[in-house]
Amino acid sequence: MNYFSGEKMTGGYGGPDIINSCTISVDKGEIVTILGPNGAGKSTAMKALLGMLNLREGKITINEKDISNLSPQDRVKEGISFVPQTRNVFTGMTVQENLEMGAYLRDENFQDTLNEIYGLFPVLKEKRNQLAGQLSGGQRQQVALGRALMIKPSVLMLDEPTAGVSPIVMDELFNHIIKVRETGVAILMVEQNARQALSIADRGYVLVTGENKFSGSGKELLNDPEVRRSFLGG
């Protein structure tokens, strides 16, 4: 049994089902990436795991505990943290305040975590008193990651963390994500840049029309001729 998993998830936004018997799981210290063409239901699967979607069927568990019926807020308390693709920082607040808001649910002193995050993303420490809205795209993504990590999550979910950033920044971000994995967090991300994502991922799922089409380790998928042809551009 994986640490965090959604099994046979089926559901949609009230109309037809977007995801169909879709299964996704991730273990601690592992990066799992979800790939697929547009409209394959990647983001929907993510939302289902977060509890922002009513599932008709399927079960979501964390650490063997069934959380299928918990609200998104309650899932945050279970240690599931999410970084949306857009609007993922508080633009009118300073970097430090952004991080503090990430730790909103923690009552104890979170200075250690703050220092840890600053260790992970040194540039944030440098700019901690600047408004997040004034940072560059890559730095903002770091703030977003940092905010999500402040709750000390066991599962970190990322929705296209590298969308719209330059290739150099993308590499940097992936490096940061690898560093986060080393702290023992389970990382689940949806990615457009499939090749790069697979190269750092431990495992990957390829969704097509809401169903699992392929799955396997990052290397396997990268080398699978069919996956290469249809999703990686040869």
Partner 1 sequence: MDFVNAIVLLSNFVIVPALSYGSQLALGAIGVTLIYGILRFANFAYGDLMAFGTMFAILFTWFFQSIGISLGVLPTALLAIPFAIIIAILFSLLIDKFVFSYYRIKKSPPVTLAMVSIGVMFVINSIIRIIIGPFDRRFFDGERFIIRANEFKEMTGLNEGLAIKSTQVLTLFVTIVVASILFWFLNKTRTGKSMRAYSDNEDLALLSGISPERVVMITWIIAAILATIAGTLYGLDKSFKPFTYFNNLLPIFAAAIVGGIGNPLGAFLGGYVIAFSEIFITYAYKKFFAYLLPESLEPNSLIQLLSTDYKFAVSFSILVIVLLFRPSGIFKGRVL
Q: Which residues bind partner 1 (CB under 8 A)?
A: 72-73, 76-77, 81-82, 84, 87-93, 97, 100-102, 104-105, 131, 147, 151
Sheet-wide strand order for 186-190? 80-83, 155-159, 186-190, 31-35, 203-208, 211-217
Minimum CB distance to partner 1, residue 87 (Å): 6
CB of 2 or CB of 88, closer to partner 1? 88
Minimum CB distance to partner 1, residue 187 (Å): 16
Separation of CA 200 from chain center: 14
Strands (E) located in the chain: 4-11, 19-26, 31-35, 55-62, 65-66, 80-83, 155-159, 186-190, 203-208, 211-217
CB of 99 or CB of 227, closer to partner 1? 99
CB of 149 or CB of 200, closer to partner 1? 149
CB of 97 or CB of 211, closer to partner 1? 97
Minimum CB distance to partner 1, residue 82 (Å): 6
Cβ-based burial of 153 (10 A; exposed 0-12, middle 13-18, buried ≥19): buried
Minimum CB distance to partner 1, residue 210 (Å): 24
